[in-house]
């Protein structure tokens, strides 16, 4: 049977129970479960504010839009970002009419602080740090630079639900989580935008529902005769989340830490299984980082051939991500990030999800050791790690 890259696992009974409450009550929209999920997320993360949105992509755009307006940024001002991410990180910069400036990655595949310093100009307003795979990389150093230089720091925490740094949820000026179908806390599509500043959180709440200044749930609950009466203070967006997605989130959240423990256990098995194979480059997790392990990535030569031969053995691996600078829309930036460019040709992501058995993890380990050391390379590891390639 094929071993899949990602398979979401749901607490079906509790998801149905939470969703049923919405249907019984006749309330599937903004409010009710969205309020509860926001409160639960604040408790879980320790972050002061949380606003539930319909995706992390929306959340990233909304975050930039709010900072741009409140900070008086100009069209075309620069945002430092990574080329090794899902395209939505960089699309959000373009949605806001800002200019992405690409910073190379370090050995953790996250923003390299030295390159970040080199790429700051008088037009730089912000940096987006992507915790790739759940990793925190050099987040603290990047945060320190942003403080010194007066830049806003956004954390694209799409892979970081449950990541802790020195025991705590990493804190930026705003963090945006994804609860998309294959993320660590899967719903179907939704996300959370968490501002450090209360005023910005309040603005984002209005802007996520077309700029309307009170939500229907509050209006329906306060018994006022003026339920129809609201003001529109901003040109907002249709970005808020709904109670069905929040209901699923509420049912899933109690499982997040134990799910992530299992992800880390699988990652530790992979790490041990590849530790003596010099043809597999391991990606280090920094000290103090308890990674949510959204991904388990390694670097290999002739990556595409390796992917094909894994597929031939019934193992679906993936690539996170193609260097964004290879896309025509970012062609002007092509040569600015050599390490990201090199790594994007070498990286592959191995199956990592809660339905993987230990035996399947061993099968993946054997297969990747074989594909990288097997007959094609005419060499073996002789310490017992290599298994027969004759099968």
Ligand X SMILES: *Cc1c(COP(=O)(O)O)cnc(C)c1O
Is there binding between residue 89 and ligand X (CB under 6 A)?
A: yes
Q: What's the CA gap between 110 and 341, in Å, rounded?
A: 13
Is there binding between residue 86 and ligand X (CB under 6 A)?
A: yes
Strand-pair category, 281-282 with 297-299 = antiparallel
Contacting ligand X (CB under 6 A), which of 45, 57, 82, 184?
Answer: 57
Strand-pair category, 124-130 with 78-81 = parallel
Nearer to ligand X, 215 or 349 (CB): 349
Nearer to ligand X, 176 or 367 (CB): 176
Q: Applying CB under 6 A, what is the total number of residues that bind ligand X?
A: 14
Nearer to ligand X, 156 or 370 (CB): 156
Is there binding between residue 77 and ligand X (CB under 6 A)?
A: no
Tell me the sheet residues that pair with 240.
Answer: 53
Contacting ligand X (CB under 6 A), which of 133, 162, 191, 249?
Answer: 191
Q: How far does CA 357 lie from the centroid of its chain?
A: 24
Tell me the sheet residues that pair with 61.
Answer: none
Is there binding between residue 349 and ligand X (CB under 6 A)?
A: no
Pure H helices in the chain: 12-25, 33-45, 56-70, 87-95, 113-118, 139-149, 198-207, 216-221, 243-252, 256-274, 303-312, 338-346, 358-373
Please check whether residue 320 is in contact with residue 303, taking contact to mean a CB–CB distance below 8 angstroms: no
Nearer to ligand X, 128 or 368 (CB): 128
Nearer to ligand X, 180 or 291 (CB): 180
3-state secondary structure of 97: coil
Is there binding between residue 135 and ligand X (CB under 6 A)?
A: no
Contacting ligand X (CB under 6 A), which of 158, 245, 306, 356?
Answer: 158
Of 132, 151, 143, 144, whose CA–CA distance to 79 is shortest?
A: 151
Is there binding between residue 88 and ligand X (CB under 6 A)?
A: yes
Contacting ligand X (CB under 6 A), which of 78, 104, 115, 156?
Answer: 156
Q: What's the CA gap between 221 and 240, in Å, rounded?
A: 19
Candidates 81-89, 232-240, 303-311, 361-369; binding stretch for ligand X (CB under 6 A)? 81-89
Q: What's the CA gap between 248 and 245, in Å, rounded?
A: 5
Residues 263-302 that bind ligand X (CB under 6 A): none
Residues 159-178 that bind ligand X (CB under 6 A): 159, 178
Is there binding between residue 81 and ligand X (CB under 6 A)?
A: no
- Which residues make up the interface to ligand X (CB under 6 A)? 55-57, 85-86, 88-89, 130, 156, 158-159, 178, 180, 191
């Amino acid at each position: 049977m094929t071993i899949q890259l990602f398979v979401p696992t749901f607490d079906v009974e509790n998801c149905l129970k939470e969703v049923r409450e919405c249907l019984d009550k006749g309330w599937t929209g903004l409010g009710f479960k969205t309020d509860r999920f926001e409160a639960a997320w604040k408790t879980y993360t320790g972050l002061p504010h949380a606003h539930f949105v319909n995706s992390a992509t929306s959340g990233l755009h909304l975050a930039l839009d709010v900072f741009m307006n409140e900070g008086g940024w100009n069209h075309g001002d620069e945002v430092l970002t990574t080329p090794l991410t899902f395209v939505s990180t960089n699309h959000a910069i373009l949605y806001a009419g800002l200019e992405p400036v690409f910073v190379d990655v370090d050995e953790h595949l996250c923003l390299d602080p030295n390159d970040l310093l080199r790429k700051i100009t008088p037009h730089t307003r912000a940096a987006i740090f992507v915790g790739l795979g759940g990793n925190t990389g050099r987040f603290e150093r990047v945060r320190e630079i942003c403080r010194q230089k007066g830049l806003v720091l956004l954390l694209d925490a799409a892979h970081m639900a449950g990541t802790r740094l020195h025991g705590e949820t990493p804190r930026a000026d705003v963090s945006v989580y994804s609860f998309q179908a294959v993320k660590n806390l899967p719903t179907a599509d939704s996300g959370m935008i968490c501002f450090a500043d209360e005023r910005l959180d309040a603005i984002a709440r209005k802007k996520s529902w077309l700029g309307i200044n009170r939500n229907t749930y509050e209006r329906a609950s306060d018994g006022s005769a003026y339920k129809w009466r609201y003001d529109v203070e901003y040109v907002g967006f249709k970005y808020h989340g709904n109670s069905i997605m929040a209901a699923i989130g509420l049912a899933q959240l109690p499982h997040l830490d134990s799910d992530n423990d299992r992800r880390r256990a699988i990652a530790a098995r992979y790490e041990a299984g590849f530790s003596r194979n010099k043809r597999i480059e391991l990606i280090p997790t920094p000290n103090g980082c308890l990674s949510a392990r959204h991904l388990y990535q390694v670097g290999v030569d002739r990556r595409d051939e390796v992917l094909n031969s894994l597929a031939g053995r019934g193992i679906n691996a993936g690539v996170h991500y193609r260097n964004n600078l290879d896309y025509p829309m970012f062609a002007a930036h092509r040569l600015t990030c050599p390490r990201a460019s090199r790594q994007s040709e070498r990286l592959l992501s191995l199956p990592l999800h809660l339905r993987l058995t230990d035996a399947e993890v061993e099968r993946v380990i054997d297969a990747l050791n074989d594909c990288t050391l097997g007959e094609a390379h005419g060499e073996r590891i002789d310490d017992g790690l290599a298994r027969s390639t004759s099968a």
